[in-house]
Each structure stands twice: as C-alpha cells, then as structure tokens.
Amino acid sequence: MAQENAAFSPGPEEPPRRRGRQRYVEKDGRCNVQQGNVRETYRYLTDLFTTLVDLQWRLSLLFFVLAYALTWLFFGAIWWLIAYGRGDLEHLEDTAWTPCVNNLNGFVAAFLFSIETETTIGYGHRVITDQCPEGIVLLLLQAIGSMVNAFMVGCMFVKISQPNKRAATLVFSSHAVVSLRDGRLCLMFRVGDLRSSHIVEASIRAKLIRSRQTLEGEFIPLHQTDLSVGFDTGDDRLFLVSPLVISHEIDAASPFWEASRRALERDDFEIVVILEGMVEATGMTCQARSSYLVDEVLWGHRFTSVLTLEDGFYEVDYASFHETFEVPTPSCSARELAEAAARLDAHLYWSIPSRLDEKVEEEGAGEGAGGEAGDDKEQNGCLPPPENESKV
C-alpha cells in the first residue's frame, strides 16, 4: 500500500520555468493579433457602420460630434447663401420685402435655423416662406439628410449595447488542472457567470494552439486542434447557473494521449477556451475567451468546491473560484495508464484460482504473477486507476 501511495504521489514540485511564448489569446479574451500591410483599405468603407462601431470610444464620440456639427454648418452656409443671393440681407428693415426665411439676418441666424430644421425644434421665430422655391427644395434635402441622425444614433446604441461587454462578467479559472476523474486522466478548467441574468444556449469549445511540421516539411506556426469537451455527448451545452468544471478526457483521440507530466512541462503550447451563448436580457450573441499556457496547467491538482447549500438556496463563493489543491495523480501518460490498467485486468482475470487446483499451486502462481505485475508497474512508474482496485 505504501508502494501504491508513493507511485500516486505527484512528487516534489519543480520550480516553474520562464517561457518566452507569446500568447495567441490574452487571459481577458483579447486576441493578440494585429493586421499589417492591409492595402485594400477601401473594404473598411464598404461596411462603414461596422467600422464606426469598432472604433475606440474617443474616436466614436469625435465622429458623432463632427457628423452633427458639420451637417449643421453645411446647411447653415447654404441657407445664408440663399438669403445673400436673393438680397434678403439687404432688405432687413424693409417690411414690404418677403424674404426666404423670416428673421434671418446673418450667418449665425442661418446656422441656428439649420439646427432648428434638422432637429425639428421649431421655436417659431424663424420660418421659411412660400415665396422661396430654392428654400423649399433645401428644406426637403435637409429633412432627408436627417437620416444622419438615425445612422449616428444607431451606431452609438450598438456600441453601448455590444455583447462583448457582457463577456466581462464571464470568468475562467486562472489555471487548468490535470488529474484523475473516474479513473481517467482529464484536463479541466472552470467557468462561471457573475450575473444573475443567465447566458442562454451556452456552449464551450477548446482549441490547442501548437506549432507543428507536416510530413512534407511545411511548418505551421499556430496549428489549431480541437480538444473534445463533450461535443459527442452534448456535455459542451452548459446550463451556466453556477460555476462548472469543464473536462477534456485524455483518451486515444486526445493530443495529450502520450504526454506524461515531465513531457507536458517540457512542451510548448497554448489552450484557448471559447464560451458562447445568447444574452438573456438582449437576445444578442456573446462570446468570452481565455487561454492557458504550459505554466498555467497544474498536474495533479483539483479545483476547490465553491458551492454550498444554505437555508433554502445554493451559495457560490467566488473567493475560492481560482483555488486548487493537490490530489494523488500518476505522473505517467494516459496511454501508459491505460496499458497498465489493461495488464492488471488481464492479470486479475487469469489469476482467478480454479476450485479444482491445489492450494499450493494457487499460491505459487499468484506470487509469480503478482511479482511480475509489480515489476512491470514499477518499471513504467504508473499505476492503474483506483476503479480497478475496487473491482477486485
């Protein structure tokens, strides 16, 4: 028994090594990629609405103010030119003269009339007359030009209600862990939602970002591989009311199938996790992202429970959301663990004594097989999952 505990012990912790890997996705979900040498910049103008929404807030506010101010100045200048061209400014004191716009006595008055027209304020002091056909045409054009108001207000509304702001209240654990779950090695991380309004139709995905070289010698610097987190079984569809631990079982289809603890520490990769869902309050799709580097994957750890039952309700303690604790975990790879389990199952099957055998032959066969299995386990430095012991 002491030998089993020693084999399951994670061993002394090695000091973390500094790695120079550049993140592909930051911990806050921001993609660390910049577009360079984009020559076809006109494509941004073909989707002007999205371009304005994607701008930073200070630039968006600048465009918002300029759009209104320049429009008012433009039409105000035209109103002044009409009044100047018709001679209205020269007959200000002539009561018999019918101007294009009553009480328009200069550029400032024309600018104010432009604001009143476009914003439909209508103070009643400056009024267009029916003796000015060019003014009537300009009034129609300015009324149609009020579509600028709808465009800019729409941009600001979409920018304020962007679903990525909702993603700020979706949290991921600071570390991922590798430990046994139901006798199998699993890579796990935790997700949670800080708001009381839930994410509807939430789903989770995970990507392994690692450089690889093809058989033809092609080098792929950021090759993406899917990590199964329950797509086949539907476990990737989350009911995210309380924090959940997402598990990737390291099986034969996993890229970590042959990765032991030491091999994992020497590896260089990044795990990107993506949580998607619909915001319950607005119905807009939301996506939250995070990533884990090699140094942020803890072998032989498990997450601390954050859910407790109180008087009539469940309480989530987010102070322990990122906490983990060590658990006995074999340091071998999942493949070696499965092979050790298979050898033990085969040994247990063939070592079942027959009632017709003699007791001496039974004990001799049992000792010989047990010693061979023990040597095999010690040689691999890996023990089978505890579930096999319970079968005995």
Cβ 286 vs Cβ 168: under 8 Å: no
- As a whole number of Å, the end-to-end CA separation of the chain is 15
pLDDT at 349: 57
| Domain 2-33+169-326: assigned CATH number | 2.60.40.1400
Q: Which amino acid is at 392?
A: V
Is residue 254 packed enough to be buried (19+ CB in 10 Å), middle (13-18) or exposed (0-12)? buried
Q: Taking all residues of the chain, what is their mean pLDDT, rounded to a whole number?
A: 81
Q: How far is CA 207 from the centre of its chain?
A: 12
| Residue 257 CB contacts under 8 Å (≥ 6 apart), including other chains | 250, 251, 333, 334, 335
- Provide the residue ranges of all domains of the chain, joining segments of one domain with +: 2-33+169-326, 42-160, 334-391
What confidence score (pLDDT) does residue 347 get? 66
**Stretch 56-83: mean pLDDT:** 89
Average pLDDT over residues 50-76: 87
Model confidence at 11, pLDDT cuts 50, 70, 90, reads: very low
Q: What's the confidence (pLDDT) of residue 54?
A: 80
Lowest mean pLDDT among 46-50, 116-120, 177-181, 276-280: 46-50
Residues in the chain: 392
State how far Cα 218 lies from the chain centre.
30
Q: What is the pLDDT of residues 237-266, one digit of tens each?
A: 999 999 999 999 999 999 999 999 999 989
H/E segment holding residue 221: strand 219-226
More confidently predicted of 299 and 340: 299
Does pTM top 0.85 for this prediction? no
Closest CA to 203 of 291, 287, 316: 287
CA 279, CA 84: separation in Å to the nearest integer? 56
How many other CB atoms are found less than 10 A from the CB of residue 255? 16
CA angle centred on 26, ends 21 and 31, rounded to 5°: 100
Q: Residue-wise over 274-312: b if at least 16 C-beta within 10 A, else e?
A: bbbbbbeeeeeebebbbbbbbebbbbbbbbeebeeeeee
42-160 sits in which CATH class?
A: mainly alpha
Instruction: Quote the pLDDT of residue 96.
Output: 85
Task: Say what the pLDDT of residue 351 is.
Answer: 56
CA distance 379 to 371: 12
pLDDT in tens, 148-191: 778 888 888 888 777 777 888 899 999 999 999 998 999 999 99
Residue-level pLDDT at 306: 93
Residue 238 has a pLDDT of 93
Asked if residues 14 and 265 have their Cβ atoms less than 8 Å apart, the reply is yes
Asked if residues 222 and 209 have their Cβ atoms less than 8 Å apart, the reply is yes
Q: State pLDDT tens for residues 326-336.
A: 999 999 999 99
Q: What is the pLDDT of residue 299?
A: 95
Provide the percentage of residues in the chain whose pLDDT is more than 70: 82
Residue 130 has φ and ψ, to the nearest 5°, of: -85, 5
- Judged by average pLDDT, the poorest of 272-286, 347-361, 364-378 is 364-378
Q: Is 223 helix (H, G, I), strand (E, B) or coil?
A: strand
